[in-house]
């Protein structure tokens, strides 16, 4: 799970380790909609074995939920779920860690 305060940008990272490189990496948002880059809301960055989705100016009501990184290659495909929790700026700090922020989630999956 990735937690962030409302109004912050958050980067979700999908790292793929496979014998065959991914030929297509697609992100889906919390409404299961294909994410298309939009400078005001979503920024996508890709390389051969990883992909980043930056959600800009997060909002607790519209951005919290499950996101998916979908990858396909010559031998198949997989979907990697990443849960984003957008917390109100008025939320209390975690009593054990003293923080609520995780700015990046690293997920590895073999295709």
102 pLDDT exceeds 70?
no
**Rounded CA separation 37/39 (Å):** 6
Global model pTM greater than 0.95 = no
Greater confidence, 81 or 90? Answer: 81
107 pLDDT exceeds 70?
no
20 pLDDT exceeds 50?
yes
Which phi and psi angles does 21 have, rounded to 5°?
-65, 150
Cα dihedral value 56, 58, 62, 66, nearest 10: 80
Which pLDDT score, from 0 to 100, does residue 44 have?
96
pLDDT digits (tens, 9 = 90+) for 29-79: 999 999 999 989 999 998 877 899 999 999 999 999 999 999 888 888 889
**Mean per-residue pLDDT of the chain:** 82
Strands (E), 6-92: 10-17, 24-28, 42-46, 50-55, 65-73, 76-87
Residue 75, token pair as written in the block: 């031998």
Q: What is the mean pLDDT of residues 7-25?
A: 85
């Amino acid at each position: 799970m990735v937690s962030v305060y409302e109004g912050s940008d958050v980067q979700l990272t999908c790292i793929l380790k496979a014998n065959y490189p991914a030929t297509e990496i697609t992100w889906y948002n919390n409404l299961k909609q294909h994410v298309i880059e939009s400078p005001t809301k979503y920024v996508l960055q890709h390389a051969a074995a990883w992909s980043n989705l930056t959600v800009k100016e997060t909002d607790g009501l519209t951005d919290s939920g499950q996101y998916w990184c979908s990858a396909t290659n010559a031998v198949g495909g997989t979907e990697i779920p990443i849960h984003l929790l957008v917390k109100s700026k008025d939320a209390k700090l975690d009593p054990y860690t003293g923080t609520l922020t995780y700015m990046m989630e690293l997920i590895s999956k073999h295709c």
